[in-house]
Amino acid sequence: MATVPAVHVLRCPRCHHPAPVQALECISCGVAIGFQPARLAMVELTADGAAVGEPWTACSNRGWDCNWLLPTDAEAARCSSCRLTRNRPANDDTLALEKLAEASKAKRRLLIQLAELGLPVEPYHERDGGLAFDLLSSRSGTGPVTTGHADGVITIDLAETLDDHRERLRVQLGEAYRTVLGHFRHEVGHYYQWNLVEQGPRIEECRELFGDERVSYADALDRHYRLGAPDGWEADHISEYATMHPWEDFAETFAHYLHITDTLTTAATGGMVLDAGRLDGLIERDVVPRASYLDVGIDELLDDWHWSSLFFNAINHSMGKGDLYPFRVVEPVAAKLAFVHEVVSETARTTPRPILA
């Protein structure tokens, strides 16, 4: 299977203290570090940004919080993640560039998860229709920016990094959850439906579950924003937005698949176990999250998620916050998640190991 090791618990190469995936320096010993995407590991850097003992160097966007490295003999000065950004704010728009730095952290986390899952990332500069990101701000005076996907290009409005902007839209649209990372995961769901499903042998099966994507998107969009989600949408959709059009149902489901698997992977690499013996008969077996679920069925993944998410929600409540995962995975949604799981697992089995460098 073409998967790679989970990287959610990286370590400082000098003192071996855990290092967050976005870290520029070790929070324990203070040494400068960078993320080496080819082997998904942290390496120590010299004062001039060169990797110690390895032919890698810091991305030219390190000053904007990019901690990825690139080969010293690379033609470009930007890392593989930054090269996927096709359009970005102008160099003199420092406020928008600050928001670009925040959004780029979410983009890099997305790319790492795609590599862990064995999903191919073919850059736009290597083939027509390849993956690209337009990261632009609707608050920069260049006009409105609509978050979306078209022909491999994912557009994100950098204003979504602003808490007040994002929360206002979340409430206005009646959403239970809205994050920049969530936008990236949703839009990349469109990209993979287009690449892995619509152009493959499973399109009819997809239509049976999600609906016929050939129906008018414009009409569906107009209907959704005039009338909202139909009554009883919770019986077979993961969110209200998923009811808008079959494309959106797939993208929402795909995003939730990434939410669930990434959170379980983090729990697994952190060593979390829900001990049945200490839970007074609540569960019949220990819940031991896996770093990867690609070699097991959806039932085990969702069972682990059911109990883990209840625990995560309770942790959030202890901090005075709402549910970490404010959604219910009903049976029709589970069937859709199973389809996504099968597509991802099959892709991981049949494609070469993805490399981020």
In a domain, 35, yes or no: yes
Q: Are residues 69 and 114 in the same domain?
A: no
Question: Which among 46, 78, 110 is the end of a domain?
Answer: 78
Contact between residue 294 and residue 1 where contact means Cβ atoms under 8 Å apart? yes
Q: Are residues 168 and 228 in the same domain?
A: yes
Question: Which among 78, 97, 132 is the end of a domain?
Answer: 78
In a domain, 355, yes or no: no
Q: Are residues 94 and 243 in the same domain?
A: yes
pLDDT score at 2: 45
Q: Is the dihedral of CA 218, 221, 225, 229 positive or negative?
A: positive
Q: Are residues 339 and 278 in the same domain?
A: yes
Q: Are residues 6 and 128 in the same domain?
A: no
Q: Which structural domain, as residue segments, surrounds residue 264? A: 85-350
Question: Which among 78, 93, 120 is the end of a domain?
Answer: 78
Q: Are residues 270 and 144 in the same domain?
A: yes
Q: Are residues 101 and 74 in the same domain?
A: no
In a domain, 327, yes or no: yes
Q: What is the pLDDT along the chain (357 residues), one digit of tens a residue?
A: 544 555 667 999 999 999 999 999 999 999 999 999 988 899 999 999 999 999 999 999 999 999 999 999 998 899 999 999 999 999 999 999 999 999 999 999 999 999 999 999 999 999 999 999 999 999 987 789 999 999 999 999 999 999 999 999 999 988 999 999 999 999 999 999 999 999 999 999 999 999 999 999 999 999 999 999 999 999 999 999 999 999 999 999 999 999 999 999 999 999 999 999 999 889 999 999 999 999 999 999 999 999 999 999 999 999 999 999 999 999 999 999 999 999 999 999 998 877 787
In a domain, 15, yes or no: yes
Domain count, the chain: 2
Distances (CA, A) of 304 to 11, 65, 289, 299, 307: 26, 34, 6, 9, 6
Q: Are residues 53 and 111 in the same domain?
A: no
Q: Are residues 41 and 147 in the same domain?
A: no
Q: Are residues 121 and 5 in the same domain?
A: no
3-state helix, strand, coil in the chain (%, to 5): 45, 10, 45
In a domain, 261, yes or no: yes
Q: Which residues pair with 157 in a beta bridge?
A: 136
First vs last C-alpha separation in the chain: 20
In a domain, 357, yes or no: no
In a domain, 279, yes or no: yes
**Under 8 Å CB-to-CB from 92, ≥6 apart: which residues?**
none
Q: Are residues 189 and 320 in the same domain?
A: yes
Q: Are residues 338 and 213 in the same domain?
A: yes
Beta strands in the chain (DSSP E): 10-11, 18-19, 33-36, 41-44, 56-58, 69-71, 85-87, 132-136, 148-150, 153-157
Burial class for 215, CB neighbours closer than 10 Å (0-12, 13-18, 19+) = exposed
Burial per residue of 316-346, b for 16 or more beta-carbon CB atoms within 10 angstroms, e otherwise: eeeeeeeebbebebeeebeebbbbbbebbbe
In a domain, 286, yes or no: yes
pTM value? 0.95
